[in-house]
Amino acid sequence: MSFLVLNNIKKSFGQTQVVKDFDMSIEKGEFVSFLGPSGCGKTTVLRMIAGFETPSDGTISISGKDQNRLKTNQRNIGMVFQAYALFPNMTVADNVAFGLKVAGKPKAEIDTRVKEMLKLISLEHLAERYPYQMSGGQQQRVALARALAPKPQVLLLDEPLSALDAKIRVSLREEIRQIQRQLGITTVFVTHDQEEALSISDRIVVMNAGRADQIGTPFEIYNRPATRFVASFVGTLNIIEATVVDPAANTVRMGDNVVTLRDSIGAMKSGDKVSVALRPEAGSMSDTAKGDTTITGAVISSHFLGSVIRTKIDIGGNPVSFDTFNAPDVVQPQPGETLSLRFMASDLLLVRD
Ligand SMILES: Nc1ncnc2c1ncn2[C@@H]1O[C@H](COP(=O)(O)OP(=O)(O)O)[C@@H](O)[C@H]1O
Ligand SMILES: [Mg+2]
């Protein structure tokens, strides 16, 4: 049986249903991200797990125990928010000690635990600082230590990195993941940043308007997106509007090219329109590249981005972007020239709405 189970959760505010039939089972020690655009209900689900909101319907259980009637402070959950929510008038050490003091732990035990926690986030030397004397990244590490100090059974992180600079975001997300692994703590991490979710999660829940569109490993979410929403929200994606040629043979036309799809077209007729997706990294302009399919189109534009060159070609009126790694022998395509793009047919995904 899973550790944290959300069973058919619904939540309405007044007439508006913001969470719809949300089901999710999280294993002990797992790191799960909720990924979705602003307003899709990520924070609301997190707040229901923490007990700040009550579901309109459905149950939440942790380790087999129904949480619905438990108050926030009875759930033993640690939480970190986006904005630095440290107590401004308390030192770092006092911030980390806060939950333990509230729980009435003896002073000696609190002191030991605070030291342990500050060591965990490598900030032992700043124990007597106040929040305003620290960078945003340091404050979020203290917020993490404060949340972990009472040994919560679940850790909830609500966009904890979104107020930080890009470089700090990357290093801190790796630090969070490393600490999470070290402690083996079951964690739900909310983000609207797909790269963040892909890079640190065991599994991702892609949320769309209050629903979980897809739940899977980063690899599954990226490579086999279940819906058009997931395909376009996670990663950069080309959508090519194609026309069915022969449904029995799974062939479609894209501009001047006829290609065979791996996905079954199903009950469609010749001439029907279908949407097909292709990732920018799937194609190559080298004739010797691995691939079983080639399409040809005119170059619309080509931009040098440093590590890659991103080139757009016109495939039957659809702009199709693809990336080429920068290399000593790379030749940047010029607008107007005709270019062949080679890839595996299995990288073409039939997109359903
Ligand atoms: N207390 C509330 N009262 C009314 N509407 C709310 C409340 N909290 C959130 N909402 C609405 O619910 C939707 C989901 O919000 P939220 O869970 O914060 O989304 P996210 O965290 O994904 O950005 C939004 O449309 C938001 O305006
Ligand atoms: Mg939110």
**How does pLDDT run across 191-244, given as a tens digit for each residue?**
999 999 999 999 999 999 999 999 999 999 998 888 889 988 887 788 899 999
What is the total residue count of the chain?
353
The torsion region of residue 130 among left (phi > 0), alpha (psi -120 to 50) and beta comes to: beta
Using most ligand atoms within 8 A of CB, pick from 11, 17, 18 the residue to mutate for ligand 1.
Answer: 18
What is the whole-number distance in angstroms between the Cα of residue 12 and the centre of ligand 2?
A: 16
19 beta partners: 11
Torsional sign, CA 249, 341, 243, 223: positive
Looking at the CA of 45, name the nearest ligand.
1
β partners of residue 314: 298, 319
Task: Report the range of poorest mean pLDDT among 57-61, 251-255, 262-266, 304-308.
Answer: 262-266
Cα 38 to ligand 2 centroid, rounded to whole Å: 6
| Residue whose CA lies nearest to ligand 1 atom number 6 | 13
Our measurement of the distance from residue 85's CA atom to the centroid of its chain's CA atoms, rounded to an integer in Å, reads: 23
Q: Ligand 1 pocket test: which of 12, 43, 156 has the largest number of ligand atoms within 8 Å of its C-beta?
A: 43
Nearest Cα residue to atom 13 of ligand 1: 39
Q: Which residues pair with 349 in a beta bridge?
A: 277
Among the bound ligands, name the one nearest to the CA of residue 37: 1
Closest ligand 1 atom to Cα of 16: 5
CB 98 within 8 A of CB 87: yes
| Ligand 1 pocket, residues with Cβ under 6 angstroms | 13, 18, 36, 38-44
Task: List, for residues 135-173, the tens digit of each pLDDT value.
Answer: 999 999 999 999 999 999 999 999 999 989 989 999 999
| Predicted model pTM | 0.88
Residue 353 — pLDDT band, cuts 50, 70, 90? low
Q: Which atom belonging to ligand 1 lies closest to the Cα atom of 159?
A: 21
Ligand 1 atom 5: residue of nearest CA:
13
- Please state the atom number of ligand 1 nearest to the C-alpha of residue 36: 22
**How many of the other CB atoms lie within 10 Å of CB of 235?**
18
Atom 17, ligand 1: residue with shortest CA distance: 41
Q: Which residue has the CA at smallest separation from atom 9 of ligand 1?
A: 44
Token readout for 237 is 């994606």
Question: For residue 37, how far is its CA from the centre of ligand 2 (angstroms)?
Answer: 9
The single-letter code of the amino acid at 162 is S
pLDDT digit string (tens) for 71-120? Answer: 888 899 999 988 778 999 999 999 999 999 999 999 999 999 999 999 99
